[in-house]
Structure 1
Amino acid sequence: MKRRTFIGAMASGALTPWLAASAQPASRKKLVGMVSSFSARQIEPLRAALLEKLRDLGWREGDNLEFDLRLAEPTPSALSAASAALVARAPDLLIAQGNPTLDAMRPHSGAIPVVFLLVADPVELGLVVSLSHPGGSLTGFTNFETAVGGKWVDLLKDADTTIERIVLIANPDNSTSAPLARRIERDGRESGVSVQTVDVRDADGIERAIRGAAGSPRAGLMTLPDSLPILHQDLIIRLTSELRIPSIHPFRTFAANGALMSYGLDFPELYRQAASYADQILRGRSPADLPVQAPTKFELVINLNTAKLLGIEIPPALLASADETIE
């Protein structure tokens, strides 16, 4: 505001309304685009959490905000096409969910600010300069450090002490799958458990991997933090239940819907945090000034109904450490 205009506002008694208006989002509708490979049913509660927090911060869909969500199969080509279609609309901000989505989005996004979610090792992969000072157009929230793989192994072994082998389902199109799988294989050896990584890209591959696990006595199953198992969550839960295979997953929805255990992040809260970054960027702050945040809280969920179905008696110490039990 020019100095003479500001003085005029003071003289007319309009300073207070001017300050109130300046604290609100600009009148032009902002366009926020997001790409996810979750299903419509799976993404809905997360979309709702994001938009609810944005409303709390003054952004109302249909008023001063347009939110364009594109769902795509978890393949590089599909994610790239969805990203290109969004970028063609010249959004004010992009939201990328997971490493494969961010990898597919980056060639198209250019200087458009991007808030990422569930992205592992952004510094090691060269996505940002550092966690505290990203230094470019990207910032956001990481998901799991590789050390968490050992925790998954230990939790599954604690729940069922008879387990000698774990089949680990991995998506080779996710750049973080290989290093995380190697760490889990090493942690398994140290815990006296053989971990076999099986690369899959579709439902057929997932089914073959699970049936392969069922062919071995004292076997368990584990999935990595990736959109592919989320997309085929119902299949994984159905088969592990039918074949009596104890399993652990990084997403709460697995345990909530019938898998034995989950140990992972509070997803709705993560999306609310992403909304706070979106708010700051839409108001003019640079992503380069917003530090990449690592998770600080993980939740252990145990489904006792499934434990009973599998004939597993969860040890009292493990039950006591659970954040939630499902009966």
Structure 2
Amino acid sequence: MSAMSATSVTARRLPCRTLLLALLTSLLLPTFALSIQQPTNGAHHNKQYRFAVLLAGDHRTPRIDGFKQEMARHGDQYGVHHVYTFFNAEGNSSQLLPLARQIVASHPDVAIAAGGIEADALKLATDEAPLPVVFLFSASCVERGQIESIRHPGGNLTGIDSNDTVLTEKRLWYLHKMLPGIKHVTCFSIPTIGSSAESAVLAVEAGKKLGLEVRIIDLESKDELKSKAQQLVRRDNTDAILLFPCGPIHQVFGEALAPLATELGIPIFGDFDDSLAKGAFAHYGSLQSADGAQAARLAIKILHGASPADIPVEIPQHYELVLNRSMIERLKLNLPPQIWRLADRIVDAAPAF
């Protein structure tokens, strides 16, 4: 007798009540199993999450937009709503800590630091009142004490380390390859910002290897650059300018530095991708909107119950070399043919001046 037949014979010997119970169980069990295997969507459905976003100024918008777009996809998937409250220092960095304390007092589900100096402020503000914080980007986040380590942040902060400080040497290398005739490179630094000070050290060391004289101009604030740019940058002491990852300088270089440099025929190698539209002829780094989207995926882990202490900090998933043909032609730069082939993207971003 086959195995199928043996089972059938045994079934015929069971009482009718037992057969009915077995049949009902077989029908209900898959439904019950499905309900316990897929609790996630139901658990989050129609829930509202509140984000408090701290930003130094409107120049942080590209990363915030990337974050919100990725979170919108999360909302569509789980049927949840995200509410954002923005705390904007509007270029006044002295307001970041007071605004960070306001965020703590508002008790959001997650606080978002739009950049490194914002993460510094939220780190201080949350020392005594822990609150999950995700930074959309920060340079040298271990060195500046925001986290304990990349793999195990250990506190209440996690996010994206832009790696911008480490990229300083690579950017200087690209600048040298693009403009092989340059000898003097000027960089601006605000030493009180750790990533800026670290970039200055790396640039000087890298310049020696490349045979370049790297001149570091230390500033107290962005206002000093606005007032002294004409005194600091001249054609006889600067062949090119390399921008460091420094938020305050980035805020004003488009109005305070780029018009002057362009008038003098001095090319600027940008720090962030939006520096191209402000007068830089090239940029090497990550796409800001992509950084924001990547940080959103870390925030989603927190919403689903993970602790920032256990979510490893990530670095951008992709870096790209972008050339600004508009500024290259305006400055009459003769880039080697291989540089054009190396570029990941070529854009035409004409600044307003």
With the shorter chain as reference, the TM-score category is 0.7 to 0.9
Choose the corresponding residue for 2:109, options 77, 85, 92. 92
How far apart, in 2, do the equivalents of 1:226 and 1:288 lie? 27
Q: CA deviation at 1:146?
A: 3.8
CA contact (8 A) 2:100 2:125 kept: yes
The Cα offsets for residues 99-139 of structure 1, whole Å up to 9 and x where unpaired, read as 32222221212310111132222223333222112122111
The Cα offsets for residues 287-315 of structure 1, whole Å up to 9 and x where unpaired, read as 12211112342111111221222121110
The answer for the alignment partner of 2:241 in structure 1 is 221
The Cα offsets for residues 239-281 of structure 1, whole Å up to 9 and x where unpaired, read as 3222221110121112244321111111111100111111110
Q: Which runs of 4+ in 1 moved over 4 A?
A: 13-21, 73-76
How far apart, in 1, do the equivalents of 2:314 and 2:238 lie? 38
The answer for the alignment partner of 1:120 in structure 2 is 139
How far apart, in 2, do the equivalents of 1:286 and 1:210 lie? 49
Q: How does 1:129-144 map to 2 (within 5 A)?
A: 129-144=148-163
Percent sequence identity is: 26
How far apart, in 2, do the equivalents of 1:210 and 1:162 lie? 24
How far apart, in 1, do the equivalents of 2:51 and 2:165 lie? 31
Q: How does 1:153-172 map to 2 (within 5 A)?
A: 153-172=172-191
Secondary structure class of the residue paired with 1:58: helix
How far apart, in 2, do the equivalents of 1:195 and 1:164 lie? 8
CA contact (8 A) 1:159 1:312 kept: no
How far apart, in 1, do the equivalents of 2:181 and 2:243 lie? 19
CA contact (8 A) 1:116 1:139 kept: yes
The answer for the alignment partner of 1:178 in structure 2 is 197
How far apart, in 2, do the equivalents of 1:92 and 1:59 lie? 19
One-letter code of the match for 2:201?
Answer: R
Secondary structure class of the residue paired with 2:57: coil
Q: CA deviation at 1:56?
A: 0.8
Aligned CA distance change for structure 1 residues 215 and 316 (closer, same or farther; 3 Å): closer
Secondary structure class of the residue paired with 1:35: strand
One-letter code of the match for 2:40?
Answer: S
Q: CA deviation at 1:141?
A: 0.9
The two structures, once aligned, show a CA RMSD in angstroms of 2.7
One-letter code of the match for 1:253?
Answer: D
Aligned CA distance change for structure 1 residues 59 and 227 (closer, same or farther; 3 Å): farther
Q: How does 1:1-327 map to 2 (within 5 A)?
A: 16=34, 22-24=40-42, 25=44, 27-39=46-58, 42-58=59-75, 64-109=81-126, 110-144=129-163, 146-200=165-219, 201-206=221-226, 208-209=228-229, 212-216=232-236, 219-235=239-255, 236-327=257-348
Q: Unmatched 5+ residue regions in structure 2?
A: 1-27, 349-353
How far apart, in 1, do the equivalents of 2:216 and 2:76 lie? 44
Q: Greater helix percent: which structure?
A: 2
Aligned CA distance change for structure 1 residues 218 and 171 (closer, same or farther; 3 Å): closer
Secondary structure class of the residue paired with 1:325: strand
How far apart, in 1, do the equivalents of 2:294 and 2:102 lie? 26
Aligned CA distance change for structure 1 residues 266 and 206 (closer, same or farther; 3 Å): same
Q: CA deviation at 1:233?
A: 4.3
How far apart, in 2, do the equivalents of 1:29 and 1:147 lie? 39
One-letter code of the match for 2:56?
Answer: S
Q: Computing the radius of gyration over CA atoms, which structure comes out larger, 1 or 2?
A: 2
Aligned CA distance change for structure 1 residues 299 and 165 (closer, same or farther; 3 Å): same
